[in-house]
Amino acid sequence: MFDNLLGLFSSDIGIDLGTANTLVYMQGRGIVINEPSVIAVNRKTGEVLATGQEAWGMIGRTPGYIVAVRPLRGGAITDFEITEKMIRLLLQRAGVSRFSRPKVLICVPSAITEVERRAVTDATRRAGAADAQLLEQPMAAAIGADLPINEPVGNMVIDIGGGTTETAVISLGGIVALEAVRVGSFDIDAAIQSHVRREHGLAIGERTAEEIKISIGSAMATAEDRDAEVRGRDLVSGLPKTVILTAQEIRDAIEDVVAQMVASVVRCLAVAPPELSQDFLTRGMYLVGGGALLRGLAQRIERDTRVPVNMSDQPLEAVVLGAGHCVENFSALRGMFMEGRR
């Protein structure tokens, strides 16, 4: 009874637990947290020193006993203990305490295992949630895009995150076809790092690779193609060095990763029921996620699949906005959650 009374004074919460970024939606307030999924920990004491943007700024710049890590890699939880700490801190920052026990909906990659599901929900309950539910990120994105997911029509969502590319066909409130690969925008960053090291003898960090991707990266040639000046450490001399990179060489460097993303979309189209396939030609596919911001990617997918691609107005926020819609209508939409459809 006491828990029920506490629930009356708490705002339910939706969390997009992404490999690259974590976003938090609070009932009645909208998005209250939007930051990198990074946490900095003192290895000696186990103390959490920073999270989010502050921890992201520490990557590659900390002493040996301080580690700035991403608890999720490739859509999988790589460190359960750190993930639990991050969830606890997120809920604390959102105002959760022993006097307010909200219901929490967490959006997770479709490929999450049963062990990972249990770990996330248990960690969320231990952090103070009265109830913890999970929702696949593509399903949340479809809800956030206001697609008619409960109607007998084919809704196709492509969610390209930091560690995964997930393509889902949704109809009548369920996922009809799903193709998930552990390839995302982090793999583009890694390909850029590898190319610069191999072709220019220059070591660059994760953050610099991301800046190159944002600055001149593309999946197809565009009118915005230009060069970029990049600084790093010379592998021979060990001294700082500057090189010039072209948009074409970066496009060639990331081609293998982009091709894998597009191939996963093609495979999902191939296994979709024929009756729904015709809907894609008239309604198109919806592209969301931070990886969707790579220049020319929507056009590349459209060219290779011959199916129209609609870019989300808010690709980074699409998933958490879908979670928010569920949070605002928790009881009515409970059947959409992973537990409700099992």
Which of 3.40.50.1000, 3.90.640.10, 3.40.50.10420, 3.40.50.2000 would CATH assign to domain 189-252? 3.90.640.10
Instruction: Report the C-alpha gap between 162 and 338 in whole angstroms.
Output: 22
Identify the sign of the CA torsion 7, 8, 10, 11.
positive
What average pLDDT does the segment 204-214 reach? 94
Mean pLDDT across 196-223: 94
Closest to 159 measured CA to CA, from 173, 174, 140: 140
What pLDDT band is residue 288 in, cutting at 50, 70 and 90? Answer: very high
Q: Rounded distance, CA 342 to CA 339, Å? A: 5
On the question of pLDDT at 27 being above 60, the answer is yes
Does residue 8 carry a pLDDT above 70? Answer: no
CA-wise closest residue to 143 among 334, 339, 342, 11: 334
Cα end-to-end span (Å), the chain: 29
Give the helix/strand (H/E) hosting 154: none
- pLDDT at 2 exceeding the cut of 50: no
Q: Quick one: pLDDT at residue 196?
A: 97
pLDDT of residue 183: 94
Q: Could you report the per-residue pLDDT of 47-87, keeping only the tens digit for each?
A: 888 888 888 888 777 788 888 888 888 777 777 888 888 88
Which of 293, 143, 284 shows the shortest CA–CA distance to 215?
293
Higher pLDDT, 333 or 102: 102
- Can you list the pairs that 58-64 forms with residues at least 24 positions away whose Cβ atoms lie under 8 Å? 59/205, 59/206, 59/207, 60/205, 60/206, 60/207
Task: Reply yes or no on whether the pLDDT at 7 is more than 50.
Answer: no
The domain ranges of the chain are 2-140+318-341, 150-183+254-311, 189-252
pLDDT (tens digit, 9 = 90+) per residue, 316-336? 999 999 999 999 987 777 777
In CATH terms, are 2-140+318-341 and 150-183+254-311 the same topology?
yes
Question: What is the topology classification, in CATH, of domain 2-140+318-341?
Answer: Nucleotidyltransferase; domain 5 (3.30.420)
Tokens (6 digits) for 9: 């004074």
| pLDDT attached to residue 98 | 67
Cut 0.85: pTM above it: yes
pLDDT band for position 6 (50/70/90)?
Answer: very low
Strand partners, 50: 40
What is the distance between the alpha carbons of residues 289 and 286, in angstroms, rounded to a whole number?
10
Element (H, E) at 18: none
Which pair of structure tokens corresponds to residue 201? 């003898």
pLDDT in tens, 42-55: 888 888 888 888 88
Residue 111 has pLDDT above 80, yes or no: no
Alpha helices by DSSP H, 78-234: 80-93, 114-126, 137-144, 185-200, 206-216
Q: What pLDDT digit, counting tens, does each position of 232-277 carry?
A: 999 999 999 999 999 999 999 999 999 999 999 999 999 999 999 8
Q: Which fold has domain 150-183+254-311?
A: Nucleotidyltransferase; domain 5 (3.30.420)
- Please choose, from the candidates 44, 203, 138, the residue with its C-alpha nearest in 3D space to the C-alpha of residue 336: 138
